[in-house]
Each structure stands twice: as structure tokens, then as C-alpha cells.
Amino acid sequence: QSRLNELKTLIRDQYRERHFEGLLPLVNEAIELQPAISQLHKLKEQLEKHEAEQRIIREEALAKATQHIDGQQYSDAINVIEAVPEENRDLQLQSLLGKARNLKRTLESLTRQISDALNAKQYSGLLAIVEQSLALKADQKDLEKLKEKLLKQEAEILEERDRSLEQSREHLKRQEY
């Protein structure tokens, strides 16, 4: 009887505070101790319905957020997941939220690095950063143009280096130092 009263108090307090997570096992235990209490059966039905609704919300959010991440729309993925109340997010949603935040942060960092390098006219190593950024978000027309420009510059530098090497070889053959 004391356990039943303890359970009733816990259930009442959690229900008032709208802490539904973990409430169903307490209600089930109370029903086992006192099956005749109809309020507990009604509450059990409500909680099962609530859990089913929350599961649907989580599944829909997971599908939408995954679709946004696959489409390289990291902010949209974050917004979809953050619309689900934190207490209703499962490990999958939490993990996906972390992934989306990390991808967004990485993209923002790469964008800053590119901007800083361009402002400082430091083109060495910039192509690799541009390619990383494009891998995270392909639809960046300005970076696609920058990549083409950097590839062209790199090709010209390699061509000039090859010409210089060839001239050096010719000089060596003739022993002209």
C-alpha cells in the first residue's frame, strides 16, 4: 500500500510537470498493485497515445532532417530537429543534430578560411580548402568559379615549371651554367 501511495505521488507530480518520459512504467506498476483504479487505466491510454504521437514526430523529424543533410542544407536540418522538444528527442535525433551542427560549423570555418586567404591574397593551399567546402556544399557558384581559376593558375605554374626544367636540362646538356 505504501508503494502504491508513493507511485501515485510520483505519477501525479510528474504529470503536473508534464514529464511524460518514464511515466508509463510507473503507471503500469501502480496498475499491477491496484488494477481497480480506472483513472490509472485512462492515464495509461493517454500516455500510450502520447508516446505513439511523439514517436511519429521523431520519425518525421528524422526523415526530414536526414533529407536536408543529404541535400547539404545543414541549417534546415538543425531547425527541423530543434523543433522537436529536447525531452522528446531520442539518441538518433541527438546524434543527427550533432552531425548537422558539426557540418555547418565546418562549412562556416572553411568559408572564413577562404575569405581570409582571398583578402590576404594567399592562394597557396586554397584549392584544397575550396574543394573541401564544395564537398560539404556543392551549390556554391562563386567557389566553383574560384576553383576553376585556381586550377588554371596551378596549371600555368606547372607549365612554367616544366619549361624552366626543360631549359635547365638543355643548359646542362650544353654545360652552360
* pLDDT at residue 175 is higher than 90: no
As given in the structure block, the three cell numbers for residue 28 are 503500469
Per-residue pLDDT tens digits for 29-67: 999 999 999 999 999 999 999 999 999 999 999 999 999
Cα(147)–Cα(153) distance, rounded to whole angstroms? 10
pTM: 0.76
CA neighbours closer than 13 Å in the CB half-sphere of residue 23: 26
Question: Beta-carbon neighbour count of residue 89 at 10 Å?
Answer: 20
* Sign for the pseudo-dihedral over CA of 17, 22, 28, 29: negative
As given in the structure block, the three cell numbers for residue 131 are 574543394
Angle between helices 23-33 and 38-70 (to 10 degrees): 160
* pLDDT at residue 161 is higher than 90: no
Per-residue pLDDT tens digits for 140-155: 999 999 999 999 998 8
Average pLDDT estimate for 2-18: 91
Cα(95)–Cα(156) distance, rounded to whole angstroms? 45
Reduced to 3 states (helix: H, G, I; strand: E, B; else coil), residue 108 is helix
